[in-house]
Amino acid sequence: MNHRLQHAPLRAVLSMSAGTAFIAGTDIMMKRLAADHSLPAILWVRNLIILLVIYGILHRSGEWAHTRASFSRMHVVRGIAMGISPVMYFVALMTMPVAELTALNLTMPVIMALLAVPMLREPLEGRRIAAVMLGFAGVLAIIRPGSDVFSPYMLLALAAAVGGAFFQLFTRKVAGHQGAMASLFYPWVISTVICTPFALYRWTPPVNGVEWLLVALITIFSLSGNTLMVRSYQYGPASLIAPFIYMQLIWAALLGWLIFGAFPDGWSLAGMITIVAAGLLLVPRQSLRRSR
């Protein structure tokens, strides 16, 4: 079964923007649960539920036979990146504010834009270089190197950003060959396997209805966010889509303010505006008109 790539820049941007909103919501709920429970245990439960949901969707849609026969080393590589990166990211999330951690993690589009040239043979022309640099400047305005925001856990966040960049770029490589659910199945399997020993080391699952509700919402948000992000790569090139991962910073700041009462200061807001401007700079006007 072949899932043909489409040239639809606006759809790609909207899918990525919505996906980042769901991922930001996942971060907020993970931070809430991680205060009282083992983070690997929460991740393992989430991964297992998502696997069962994806398996059911593949069977219902008739794609399971093709998915089972299409296992490749590329899925293993994507799964390793997908399994290790969230663990590092969420460990950092336990000690860092959501907005600041998200800003640091959003160096990932810069990494992607650079890696997309040798890996995907995509051009990195002047306009895109300027947009990436503008976005990175916005991130620096938020995290402010040398300030109290920095901590040793930022090294984990940076490593997670590198792993996330590889996962997204490898996703682009397989985007035209499988549907979103099939593309996510094997990475979730490998991610669950990687998480298992850490979950067993300190097993503290949710104990009441509210906590199980949060786990359910985390599962729904994670699956929805990752599905939308995978779909975005079926509609446009990585160099176009990557800057819109910065939208996660906007969602994280907003949700962090609503849930934890932590609102970004003036420098952070200026950085967010810069990041959004960088993303918009990469959307060709003629492509937007053609995709409507």
Q: What is the pLDDT of residue 286?
A: 43
Burial of 109 (0-12, 13-18, 19+ CB in 10 A): buried
Q: For residue 227, what are the contacts with CB-CB under 8 A and spacing of at least 6?
A: 19, 180, 181, 184
Rounded CA-CA distance 179/227 in Å is: 10
Rounded CA-CA distance 122/41 in Å is: 39
Q: What is the pLDDT of residue 282?
A: 65
Q: For residue 169, what are the contacts with CB-CB under 8 A and spacing of at least 6?
A: 112, 115, 116, 119, 120, 238
Q: What is the pLDDT of residue 25?
A: 92
Sign of CA dihedral 6, 9, 14, 19: positive
Which DSSP letter does residue 236 get?
S
Rounded CA-CA distance 266/269 in Å is: 5
Q: What is the pLDDT of residue 19?
A: 92
Q: Would you say 161 and 104 are in contact if contact means Cβ atoms under 8 Å apart? A: yes
What are the percentages of helix, strand and coil residues in the chain, rounded to 5?
Answer: 80, 0, 20
Q: What is the pLDDT of residue 2?
A: 46
Q: What is the pLDDT of residue 288?
A: 42
Q: What is the pLDDT of residue 201?
A: 78
Rounded CA-CA distance 65/63 in Å is: 6
Q: Would you say 254 and 21 are in contact if contact means Cβ atoms under 8 Å apart? A: no
For each of the chain's 292 residues, which pLDDT tens digit applies? 444 556 778 888 888 889 999 999 999 988 888 777 777 788 888 888 888 888 888 888 887 877 776 777 777 888 888 888 888 888 888 888 888 788 778 777 777 777 777 887 877 777 778 878 887 887 788 777 777 767 778 778 878 888 888 888 887 776 656 666 677 788 888 888 888 888 887 777 666 778 888 888 888 898 899 788 878 877 877 667 767 877 888 889 888 888 888 777 787 788 888 877 777 776 655 444 443 3
**Centroid of chain to Cα 166:** 11
Give phi and psi for 261, each to the nearest 5.
70, 20
